[in-house]
Amino acid sequence: MNTRKGKVYLVGAGPGDPGLVTLKAIDAIAEADCIVYDFLANSSLLEYARKNTEIIYAGKKGGDKTLPQEEINRLIIQRALEGKTVVRLKGGDPFIFGRGGEEAEELAEYDIPFEVIPGVSSATAVPAYAGIPLTHRDLSSSVTIITGQEAPLKERPNIAWDRLSVGRGTLVFVMGWKNLSFIVERLLENGWSPSTPVAVIRWGTLTKQITVTGTLMNICDLVKQKDIKPPVVTVVGDVVALRERLNWFEKKPLFGWRVLVTRAQEQAGELVRVLKRYGAEPVVIPTIKITPPPSWNAIDRAIRRLSTYDWIIFTSVNGVRYFFERLYTLGKDIRDLKGINICTIGPKTEGALRKRGIRVELVPGDYRAEGVIEVLKRKRIRGQRFLLPRAEKAREILPEEIRRLGGRIDVVPVYRTVMPRKEGERIRELLREGRIDCVTFTSSSTVNNLARMLGKKRIKELLSGVCIACIGPITASTVRGLGMDVDIVPQEYTIEAMVEAMAEWRAVPLK
């Protein structure tokens, strides 16, 4: 039996936006043997956990508790007594209406070591994302944070409603959706003006954030009309009026747009980051998976005779990655590229090489095979040898044109794309329910695989009314070949340019 006690981290997961979590919280999650998390803790934070970490969902959604607090306490104590490192992951801050104090008391009772890792509280972050400063030199010099869950029929209420009218600072009610009418009544009874501004913010800091503003007189009716449900944060006070000028988050160009990302999982990160920066909600369901080729024989032969090549052309970041992995596996390194000219398609591929300390001689302005061909036409390449490490299946225009110009080229597969299974029904469901506003395609493979997943006869119907964005004309041509219209093709064939074009397209009013 293990007699060594483990350790418990009471970790604040922040208000919802995973970008607001602390570095210390991420370190604790990565260290944990067991994670017990709540409904309001963004589940994407679990990606930082080790693969063998035990994950337990504790629920606690708007009072509908999957696990009672007593059971949660018992669970974390039990795991800690087994010698495990436990992370209790809680929405917001564990010591601000998070019952972290109760859990800490239980741990202290059993003499179990623990640490508290504070989180950004929804009480402060959510109003900020709604454009409401809780204090303002001219409007409010104090803030009171109040639980909105105190029972209206409680014999001895802990909230001194009469004192809340003193000073008239800003009031922030956390988890107060069920008791909103009761809260309004108590404030009006204790001297607050019916015209006092109020904001109710649902899903604060996330791209599905909804903010309803009104006054103490009409806020209950407005919340009912807008069908606002938990989780919410309610702000009462004159500072709410500043939202009209300071609302920054909900004014992002793609705010609230649900965008389907079809890229391979390992490549989706950049697109996801840019979409979030523009306010969109990325839905990542890859239609392609990057895997090694069936055999390394071709690339191994090419690497062993690298000195015979005049040029290496890299057409993608994946090509760079797999080429160099194989280069190192064979006991070679960048010194073996001495004297070889390097050409890339696109700045991202060039950047992947520069990170490895390799200078790129040629990056055509047109980020396509056609761009490389146009530049090579102006060079004397007859008799020169080219190496093209690329996907197993790709367009043949580049090797065909190099041969036509008198060059000799070895085309070697260093990776291949395959279609993930079991995701088609999930995508169909999202499209049928109208929960996707835009689909992004970054290669012809993503288009063709989605067509296979949805069915070539049904894809046009399922994507009807959905914006289609393609990274470049080749991908767009593949979409049109399936009988569909393309709404967005950026002039520069990059992720950043595509998202910028999406923002411009959305900004144009429908006729």
Provide the angle, in degrees to the nearest 10, between the axes of the packed helices 317-329 and 347-354.
Answer: 30
How many angstroms separate the CA atoms of 76 and 93, rounded? 18
Give the pLDDT of residue 393.
83
Residue 487, SS3?
Answer: coil
Q: What are phi and psi of 490, to 5 degrees?
A: -70, 160
Give the pLDDT of residue 1.
46
Torsion region of 465: left, alpha or beta (phi above 0 gives left; psi -120 to 50 gives alpha): left
Q: Which of 138-152, 209-223, 430-444 has the lowest mean pLDDT?
A: 138-152
Among candidate residues 402, 417, 432, the one where a domain is terminated:
417
Sheet holding 258-261, edge to edge: 281-284, 258-261, 438-441, 467-470
How many angstroms separate the CA atoms of 62 and 176, rounded? 10
For the record, the structure tokens of 132 come out as 């409401």
**231 and 282 assigned to the same domain:** no
Scored b (16 or more CB within 10 A) or e, 251-279 reads ebbbbebbbbbbbbeebbebbbebbbebb
> Quick one: which of 263, 362, 7, 307 has its CA closest to 353?
362
How many angstroms separate the CA atoms of 365 and 293, rounded? 30
Give the DSSP letter string of 363-408.
--SS-SHHHHHHHHHTS--TT-EEEEEEESS--SHHHHHHHHTT-E
**For residue 155, what pLDDT band results from cuts at 50, 70 and 90?**
low
380 or 458, which is more confident? 458
Which residues form the catalytic set? 38, 60, 175
**For residue 153, what pLDDT band results from cuts at 50, 70 and 90?**
low
Q: Is residue 68 part of a domain?
A: yes
Q: Is 404 exposed, middle or buried (0-12, 13-18, 19+ CB in 10 A)?
A: exposed
Q: Is residue 425 part of a domain?
A: yes
| pLDDT tens-digit readout, 42-71 | 989 999 999 999 999 987 655 455 788 899
Among candidate residues 417, 446, 461, the one where a domain is terminated:
417
Q: Which of 152-166, 322-336, 338-352, 479-493 has the lowest mean pLDDT?
A: 152-166
Rounded to an integer, the average pLDDT of 18-41 is 95
The structure's pTM equals: 0.80
Helix (H), strand (E), coil (C) string for 206-245: CCCCEEEEEECCCHHHHHHHCCCCCCEEEEECHHHHHHHH
How many structural domains comprise the chain?
A: 4
| pLDDT tens-digit readout, 365-396 | 877 888 888 888 888 889 999 999 998 888 88
**282 and 298 assigned to the same domain:** no
Q: Is residue 394 part of a domain?
A: yes
Is the pLDDT assigned to residue 197 strictly greater than 60?
A: yes
Rounded to an integer, the average pLDDT of 267-294 is 92
Which residues span the domain enclosing 160?
124-246
Rounded to an integer, the average pLDDT of 109-126 is 96
Is the pLDDT assigned to residue 511 strictly greater than 50?
A: no
Is the pLDDT assigned to residue 157 strictly greater than 80?
A: no
**279 and 333 assigned to the same domain:** no
> ω before 231 within 30° of 0 (cis)?
yes
**434 and 445 assigned to the same domain:** yes
**277 and 329 assigned to the same domain:** no
Q: Where are the beta strands (DSSP E) in 132-176?
A: 143-147, 170-174
Q: Is residue 1 part of a domain?
A: no
**280 and 429 assigned to the same domain:** yes
Give the pLDDT of residue 174.
93
**323 and 427 assigned to the same domain:** no
**338 and 451 assigned to the same domain:** no
Q: Is residue 464 part of a domain?
A: yes
Q: Is residue 2 part of a domain?
A: no
How many angstroms separate the CA atoms of 324 and 358, rounded? 12
Mean pLDDT across the chain? 91
Q: Using CA atoms of 248, 250, 254, 257 in order, give the dihedral in degrees to the nearest 10.
A: 160
CATH number of the domain within which 53 lies: 3.40.1010.10
How many angstroms separate the CA atoms of 168 and 195, rounded? 13
Tokens 């903010």 correspond to 211
Q: Do 235 and 279 meet the contact criterion of CB atoms below 8 Å apart?
A: no
Is the pLDDT assigned to residue 497 strictly greater than 60?
A: yes
How far is residue 97 from each of residues 86, 104, 187, 279, measured CA to CA in Å? 21, 13, 21, 29
> Quick one: which of 282, 234, 229 has its CA closest to 18?
282
How many angstroms separate the CA atoms of 495 and 346, rounded? 11
Give the pLDDT of residue 50.
95
Q: Is residue 251 part of a domain?
A: no
CATH number of the domain within which 148 lies: 3.30.950.10
| C-alpha torsion sign, points 387, 392, 397, 403 | positive
**66 and 176 assigned to the same domain:** no
Is the pLDDT assigned to residue 500 strictly greater than 50?
A: yes
Q: Which positions ≥6 away from 84 have C-beta within 8 Å?
A: 6, 33, 34
Residue 283, SS3?
Answer: strand
Residue 132, SS3?
Answer: coil
Give the pLDDT of residue 175.
87
Q: What are phi and psi of 326, to 5 degrees?
A: -75, -35
Among candidate residues 368, 396, 417, the one where a domain is terminated:
417
How many angstroms separate the CA atoms of 319 and 316, rounded? 5
CATH number of the domain within which 349 lies: 3.40.50.10090
For the record, the structure tokens of 388 come out as 């093209």
**213 and 104 assigned to the same domain:** no
**296 and 412 assigned to the same domain:** yes
Is the pLDDT assigned to residue 17 strictly greater than 90?
A: yes
Give the pLDDT of residue 2.
54
Is the pLDDT assigned to residue 405 strictly greater than 80?
A: yes
Q: Do 30 and 49 meet the contact criterion of CB atoms below 8 Å apart?
A: yes
Q: Which positions ≥6 away from 371 have C-beta within 8 Å?
A: 345, 364, 365
**304 and 222 assigned to the same domain:** no
For the record, the structure tokens of 451 come out as 């067509």
| pLDDT tens-digit readout, 325-353 | 999 999 999 999 999 999 999 888 999 99
Q: Is residue 29 part of a domain?
A: yes
Percent residues over pLDDT 70 in the chain? 95
Give the pLDDT of residue 64.
53
How far is residue 392 from each of residues 319, 322, 359, 415, 471, measured CA to CA in Å? 10, 12, 26, 6, 21
